[in-house]
Amino acid sequence: MADYVVTCDCGAVEMALSGAPRVRGHCHCQACRTLLNVPYHSVNAYNPDQVEITKGAEALVDFQHPNLKMRKIFCVGCGEVMFNTNALDWRVVSQNLMTKNLGKLPEDLASLSHFHYDGRIVDVADELPKKP
C-alpha cells in the first residue's frame, strides 16, 4: 500500500510513494543546483523500490545529465519532474511536488535538516540543524 500518490501537472503520470523517506531535508549542493536550476532543493529521498510509477510511464523522459551522476525523470507533456536520482541512485522527490498534490506537506515528509549547507548560495534562517 502506497502512503502517497501524486500526479504531474497534466495528469498523465502517476507516482506512488511507500514507506519513510531515507532522507528529508533541504539540500544545498552544487549538483542539485546544476541539475534543477534551484537555489537549493527541498527533498524526500527514497530507495528505488519505494517509488513506483503507477500510470503513464510511457510519458516519462529519463534524462541522464552529461556531467553529473544524476538523472532527471520528467513528464514529456507538462515538464513536471517526478523525481531525480543522485549518485547513489536514490529517488529524490521534490517536496514542492508533494505540497502541490496534497495541499500541504505532511508532517512525516517535513525537512529535518539542511545539508551541504557549506556549499549554499542562500542563507536560511530557521530552527533546523545546518549540516556541512
Binding residues for Zn ion, rule CB under 5 A, total: 9
How far are the Cα atoms of 23, 49, 127 from residue 112, in angstroms, in the given order? 8, 22, 10
Torsion angle, CA of 94/97/102/106, rounded to 10 degrees?
A: 10
Q: Are 32 and 16 in contact (CB under 8 A)?
A: no
Q: Given the C-alpha cell 500500500, which residue does it identify?
A: 1
The three-class DSSP label of residue 4 is: strand
Q: How far is the CB of 26 from Zn ion (least distance, A)?
A: 9
Interface residue with Zn ion, options 6, 12, 82, 93 (CB under 5 A): 12
Interface residue with Zn ion, options 23, 78, 105, 110 (CB under 5 A): 78
Window of 45-53, 60-68, 74-82, 101-109 that interacts with Zn ion by CB under 5 A: 74-82
Interface residue with Zn ion, options 2, 3, 4, 10 (CB under 5 A): 10
Window of 14-22, 26-34, 102-110, 124-132 that interacts with Zn ion by CB under 5 A: 26-34
**∠ Cα 14 80 66 (to 5°):** 115
Q: Rule CB under 5 A: say whether 81 interacts with Zn ion.
A: no
Q: Rule CB under 5 A: say whether 43 interacts with Zn ion.
A: no
Q: Rule CB under 5 A: say whether 75 interacts with Zn ion.
A: yes
Torsion angle, CA of 45/74/61/33, rounded to 10 degrees?
A: -70
Q: Rule CB under 5 A: say whether 68 interacts with Zn ion.
A: no
Which residues make up the interface to Zn ion (CB under 5 A)? 8, 10, 12, 27, 29, 32, 75, 77-78
